[in-house]
Amino acid sequence: MLRCRILSLRDREFRTAKPMNPTEDGLPLPQRYWSMLTLMVGLAMSCLDTAIVNVALPTIARDLNADPADSIWVINAYQLAVLVSLLPFASIGDIYGYKRVYRFGIVLYTAAALISATAHSLDTLIIGRALQGLGAAGLMSVNSALVRYTYPRRFLGRGIAMTSLVVATSSAAGPSLAAAILAFAQWPWLFAVNVPIGLLTFALSLRLLPDSPHSPHRFDWVSAGLCALTFGTLISGINGLGHGQAMIRTLAELAAALVTGYLLVRRQLRMPMPVLPVDLFRRPIFALSVTTSVCSFIAQGIAFVSLPFYFHLVLGTSAVTTGLYMTPWAVMTAIMAPIAGRLSDRHPAGILGGIGLSILACGFASLAFLPPEPSTLNVLLRVAVCGLGFGTFQSPNNRAIVSSAPLERSGGAGAIQGTSRLLGQSIGAAMVALVFGLMGAGDGSTTALLLAAGFAAIGTLASLSRLANGVRRAPSAPAGAPAE
């Protein structure tokens, strides 16, 4: 009788259970791979854009009869637009669906690339670049969330590893790709080449991206405005501090960032679906993972700005040799990203991130203490150690940030991940400018590398502290689960 009763209850539970949403455990093969291809192409375009323009900036300034100092806004407009709009776009994605925001970002980015390619004045080019930045923010803000809906949870580290690989290799390959394009065409083609790629990516996104649930909450325009003011004035103040801007103006910008940031946080604490997901920072794993990310990208930002000066001024290398010396970083990161992604599906990010950042710190310190006339192999090995450490760290840490948030908050978590990267790189670049201003580029480059090692060491401590503040093991594939 008891057995019949249990069977009856199980049957009733089966008949009344809600059907599972297939997107909660990823997409089936081969759609999963096509979705990742769509996401990776869009992410590669947005990450390449800053590095690819740096090379052509002197030529752009000359052809448009612009002052070289004013031409810097071709880069700054893009970066500021990305940073101030990442979180608002993520909030829109939570409300209206991530793939809608991704498609909007592709359309805006492609149209803005056409504007930039046909610009005949610096002002028009800056407007086009700012619009490109807004489109890129649409792509970046929901990329991690869409990866989370694309891959099953037990394989999420592999999906995050692919995006980490794209970010690392795109940033490193930008100057080489720009040189290849400029060898055969004029600088407008740096932007025009994005138009057919953007159209193809939009066509793929119409059928291949996963669905996500929509939130019933309305978009908070006041919070979006406060968010833009906070990050805009903060980055402007940080850049001003490093580039010798008038101290009164710099302090005013930092004070404005502090005031608007305070108002933003207070407002977000009362919102059910905040633009700035401050409630997620109450989760120790999320907060420590973001802290680790900021420290790592400050270190990376310091290194990427100071190393070319170090190689050129201290070691006396040519521009071509300097580019060669930077290559092992990208190569080792590309090798380690997928390996670390697979490891992160079975081992805690605290350990993997701590190991990676400790290797990175050792790599920076070894570069700072290079002998006066090192061999090429000596330099390449030390740069490769830096790439090895960063590649080991990045994928597990990104997985920890995204997976520590509820599924319906994936957009906000992914935007915080992107914001921490951009904020860290901006702080790192400003620190290098400040050190160079105080010590000169020659002696300052060695000091900057030691500073980068220090931030990597702080990131190591933050990463290891996660072991005492959360889950010690990453969710792993159940026994008998099929291999991918």
Per-residue model confidence as pLDDT tens for the chain (484 residues): 434 444 443 344 333 333 334 445 678 888 888 988 888 888 888 877 766 776 677 778 888 887 766 777 787 788 888 888 888 898 888 888 888 999 999 999 999 999 999 998 888 999 999 999 999 999 888 888 888 888 887 787 778 778 877 877 776 666 667 777 877 888 889 899 899 999 999 998 888 888 887 777 788 888 888 888 988 888 888 777 766 677 888 889 889 999 998 998 888 888 877 888 888 888 888 989 999 999 999 998 888 878 877 887 788 877 667 767 887 887 888 888 888 888 888 888 889 999 999 999 999 999 999 888 888 899 999 999 999 999 898 888 888 888 888 877 777 787 888 888 888 887 887 788 788 877 877 778 888 899 999 999 999 999 999 887 654 444 444 333 333 4
What's the total number of domains in the chain? 3
61/187 same-domain check = yes
291/433 same-domain check = yes
Quick check: is 16 in a domain?
Answer: no
Half-sphere exposure of 134 (CA within 13 A, CB side): 12
165/299 same-domain check = no
What pLDDT is attached to residue 314? 81
What pLDDT is attached to residue 292? 93
Q: How far apart are CA 375 and CA 356, in angstroms?
A: 26
144/113 same-domain check = yes
Quick check: is 216 in a domain?
Answer: no
What pLDDT is attached to residue 2? 39
Task: Find how far residue 153's CA is from the centre of its chain.
Answer: 21
Quick check: is 19 in a domain?
Answer: no
Examine the fold and report which residue of 210, 233, 251 is the final residue of a domain before the chain moves on: 210
Label each residue of 249-271 as H, E or C: HHHHHHHHHHHHHHHHHHHHCCC
Quick check: is 412 in a domain?
Answer: yes
78/206 same-domain check = yes
188/332 same-domain check = no
Widest Cα–Cα separation across the chain: 91
**Listed residue (198, 212, 89, 95) closest to 142, CA to CA:** 89
CATH number of the structural domain spanning residue 150: 1.20.1250.20
- pTM score, two decimals? 0.75
Quick check: is 14 in a domain?
Answer: no
206/66 same-domain check = yes
Quick check: is 104 in a domain?
Answer: yes
Examine the fold and report which residue of 180, 210, 240 is the final residue of a domain before the chain moves on: 210
What pLDDT is attached to residue 64? 86
Quick check: is 484 in a domain?
Answer: no
Quick check: is 355 in a domain?
Answer: yes
Q: Domain containing 254: what range? A: 221-270
What pLDDT is attached to residue 472? 45
241/346 same-domain check = no
376/298 same-domain check = yes
Examine the fold and report which residue of 184, 210, 236 is the final residue of a domain before the chain moves on: 210
Task: Find how far residue 262's CA is from the centre of its chain.
Answer: 25
352/430 same-domain check = yes
248/320 same-domain check = no
The amino acid present at 104, given as its one-letter code, is F
What pLDDT is attached to residue 358? 95
173/230 same-domain check = no
Q: How far apart are CA 4 and CA 12, in angstroms?
A: 12
Task: Find how far residue 171's CA is from the centre of its chain.
Answer: 10
Label each residue of the chain as H, E or C: CHHHHHHHHHHHHHHHCCCCCHHHHCCCCCHHHHHHHHHHHHHHHHHHHHHHHHCCHHHHHHHCCCCHHHHCHHHHHHHHHHHHHHHHHHHHHHHHCHHHHHHHHHHHHHHHHHHHHCCCCHHHHHHHHHHHHHHHHHHHHHHHHHHHHHCCHHHHHHHHHHHHHHHHHHHHHHHHHHHHHHCCCCCCHHHHCHHHHHHHHHHHHHHHCCCCCCCCCCCCHHHHHHHHHHHHHHHHHHHHHHCCCCHHHHHHHHHHHHHHHHHHHHHHCCCCCCCCCHHHHHCHHHHHHHHHHHHHHHHHHHHHHHHHHHHHHHCCCCHHHHHHHHHHHHHHHHHHHHHHHHHHCCCCHHHHHHHHHHHHHHHHHHHHCCCCCCCHHHHHHHHHHHHHHHHHHHHHHHHHHHHCCCHHHHHHHHHHHHHHHHHHHHHHHHHHHHHHHHHCHHHHHHHHHHHHHHHHHHHHHHHHHHHHCCCCCCCCCCCCCCCC
